[in-house]
Structure 1
Amino acid sequence: MSGNGPGGWRNLVFKAGRVRPTLRALVFLPALGGAGLGIGLLVLMALGVLGTQPLAASAFPSERVIEAGGPPTLILPVAALLFYLVLVLLGTLAFRRLLDGRSFTSLGFHRARGWLADTLFGLVLGLALMSLITAAEWGMGWLQIRGFVWETRPAAVVWLSLGYSLWQFVVVAINEETMSRGYILQNLEEDWGVKVAVVSSSVVFGLLHSANPNVSALALFNLFVAGLLFAYGYTATRQLWLPIALHFSWNFFQGPVFGFPVSGGAGQGLLVTSVNGPDLITGGAFGPEGGLIGLGAMVVGIGAIWGWGMRGHRGLEGSTT
């Protein structure tokens, strides 16, 4: 495209007097990541000066807490999650106000009629889908239930682990949905329409997990489909309550309750289980999200959200204020 015509290159960068929505979406994640990395390095330097050792990397909070066996172990990871939450919310607020010229709530945080019903539906749907996966694997003889974690661990440790896991997956759900189905999808929709925005934001969502442990080609495809599932939760209601609740519930019941790996991260659930079925179906070390059984559950979830939308329940349509 030539830059010599009316408007020239300015039309590539600006739209309606503001930076183009696509460019805003492209800059958004690197800006948040750069800010987080910079502040994180400063925190690590401060810990070094104070003589405090950062917590060693662990695949899962439940595993970390159970191995450590006490509340002091939780201080740094709880603070880190709080920092992550504040960074994403404030960063998104800044982009929304300064570049988009809109309110943060217009991303899908209006407490309009039906918002609580959307939230409850998302929570129940996540539990139902993960229960379906568990029942199917158990029925096929691929999953063995060995017992319950409280039979071998102190009750206090179990509750600490569960509480921390709940906090972690609340933060993950809020942040990932605010970024992916909130800022990125909605800015891309302004330039390209909802279909391109849904597919593109789902591709980004999948690629953001490409460095996860035990990832495979099928796992990446399934994560793309998970992006479509959550995006449909947004487009069906035009609010983020449903996808946030579903994202949280899916992860929380998958790992800390039923004991599956979550996106490749292994940990301890309330159920002590072992999975011996074919990796192509069960997902193996990546968890159900890496197998055909997880893909099937996501398709069921999309159908359930379609049914939820068809019952006449709607969120606040496309507010931009």
Structure 2
Amino acid sequence: MKAVQIWKALAIPFTLDHYFKKDILAGLTITSLAMIGIWVVSLFFGLIEITGVDFKLKSFAYYTGITLLSAGYEELVFRCILLTILIKLFQKPWIAILITSIYFGYVHFDNDHATILSAFSNGLGGVMYGLAFVYTRKIWFPWALHFAWNYIQAPILGFPVSGFEVDGIFKLNLLDHTWLSGGLYGPEGGIIGITFRFIVIVLIVLWAKNSRVEIQKSINSIKTTQG
């Protein structure tokens, strides 16, 4: 594999195309709704209780920046670099997604309160973002998905995120610390969170396929009209 080809492949994910704005909006929407769904289900089954609501602008701004940067950094390393190289190496995206997802789950295993189940869930997160990247070959869709998942989860709804406690707007009392809720690791470490990850995967595939068909039709229609 030539070095020039590698550098070209690594630069492509950061270019803007006809889809990037809609991909960002779709990514933010999909995982925001998924995390809100997890929150509602957790409330319904008595796994959490709301003990207060408190908005602190300084804290909110801090976690907004941290979440944007951390999601961007992980997507840069795991998808834009590692996944891109493995796709070039194996010529089979599914193998590249599998390898990076296993590794993504593994690196989170050192987090506080991590379990085998949480590592599996983080691996599914790798599948989510990996599919979003493979379908679009851009950072925007997986970055938006990743950011909104973590942002709604912790700074907004008050869940722990991957074992880290965050000062969220909603203050929660975690009433369940089992495999069902994920406990102190956060909902991504439990069965409810894993279930929603599968839903997100389906929505990612549907969006990536259908959005490109509709947008391409629109572009072709414009070209035809102008011609």
User: Fold match, TM over 0.5?
Assistant: yes
Secondary structure, aligned partner of 1:313: helix
Report SS of the residue matched to 1:264. Answer: coil
Q: Deviations over 1:223-274 (max 9, x none)?
A: 1110001111112222110100110111111011100000000122100111
Matched with 1:8 is none
- Pick aligned residue for 2:106 from 204, 207, 211: 207
Match of 1:176 among 49, 74, 77: 74
What stretches of structure 1 of length at least 5 have no aligned partner?
Answer: 1-14, 19-96, 151-157, 317-321
Task: Give the SS at the match of 1:208.
Answer: helix
**Structure richer in helix, relative to its length:** 2
Q: Which residue of 1 aligns with 2:23?
A: 118
Name the CA shift for 1:103/1:224 in 2 (closer, same or farther; >3 Å).
Answer: closer
- The change in CA–CA distance for 1:101 and 1:254 in structure 2 (over 3 A counts) is closer
Equivalent-residue separation in structure 2 for 1:103 and 1:260 (angstroms): 37
2:207 counterpart of 1:308: yes
CA distance in 1, matches of 2:50, 2:32: 18
- CA deviation string 1:75-98 (max 9, x = no partner): xxxxxxxxxxxxxxxxxxxxxx7x
TM-score, structure 1 normalization: 0.63
| Partner residue of 1:256 out of 150, 155, 160 | 155
- Equivalent residues of 2:177, 2:184 under 8 A apart: no
Q: How does 1:164-243 map to 2 (within 5 A)?
A: 164-192=62-90, 193-243=92-142
Q: Which residue type is aligned with residue 76 of structure 2? A: T
Amino acid at match of 2:100: S
Alpha-carbon offset, residue 145 of structure 1: 1.1
Q: Secondary structure at the match of 2:31?
A: helix
For 1:101 and 1:139, how far apart are their aligned partners in 2? 49
CA–CA separation in structure 1 for the residues paired with 2:7 and 2:22? 29
- The two structures, once aligned, show a CA RMSD in angstroms of 1.9
Give the distance between the partners of 2:65 and 2:125, measured in 1 at CA.
21
CA distance in 1, matches of 2:135, 2:86: 17
Q: Which whole-Å deviations, capped at 9, do the CAs of 1:128-164 have from their partners, x for residues lacking one?
A: 01100000011112221112024xxxxxxx1000100
- 2:42 pairs, out of 126, 137, 143, with 137
CA distance in 2, matches of 1:233, 1:279: 30
3-state SS, counterpart of residue 162 of structure 2 = coil
Per the alignment, in what secondary structure is the counterpart of residue 265 of structure 1?
A: coil
**Long gaps (5+) in structure 2:** 217-227
How far apart in 1 are the matches of 2:54 and 2:115? 29
State the distance in 2 between where 1:101 and 1:167 align: 28
- Distance in 2 between the 1:286 and 1:168 partners? 19
Q: In the aligned structure 1, how far is the partner of 2:20 from the partner of 2:198?
A: 23
- Bigger relative CO (Cα 8 Å, ≥ 6 apart): 2
C-alpha change, 1:110 and 1:273, in structure 2 (3 Å) is same
Q: How far off is 1:278 after superposition? A: 5.0
